[in-house]
Amino acid sequence: MLAFLLLCLVRGVKRWSQASLRGLTWNTRVDKQRLFPGEDFILTIHAENTTWLPIWLRIGIAADGPFQPVEHGASLTRESGLLWYQQVTLQWTFAAQRRGVYRIGLTSLRA
């Protein structure tokens, strides 16, 4: 009986995680397309839970190269919990260090 309950619990958790990810939408925006050295730009990530299942998120940014966070010691990884039909907006401010054409590193999302 205990093994049956444990098997049901494992299957329920697996289905919960699959169903909650289907209802997660997110997008990334940058407020400026062109910068001079020393100017700041804001990277915004907007995530929305469109299901009735709560979701835990961890969003990270790979910001190596010519971009440095404006706040010293600022974390490039943020966590948030979303309840049903809730949304969150996370922002990071970066400064351009030198001239050139650069791409912002990949953003990672774990749920």
Q: Which two tokens stand for residue 81?
A: 């919990």
pLDDT at 78 exceeding the cut of 60: yes
Give pLDDT tens digits for 19-59.
777 778 888 888 888 778 878 888 888 988 888 888 888 88
What value does the mean pLDDT of the chain take? Answer: 79
Least confident of 41-45, 72-76, 78-82, 105-109: 72-76
- List the beta bridge partners of residue 78: 59
CB under 8 Å, gap of 24 or more: what pairs does 24-31 form?
24/48, 24/49, 24/50, 24/51, 24/55, 24/57, 24/111, 25/50, 26/109, 28/107, 30/104
What pLDDT, on the 0 to 100 scale, is given for residue 38?
Answer: 78
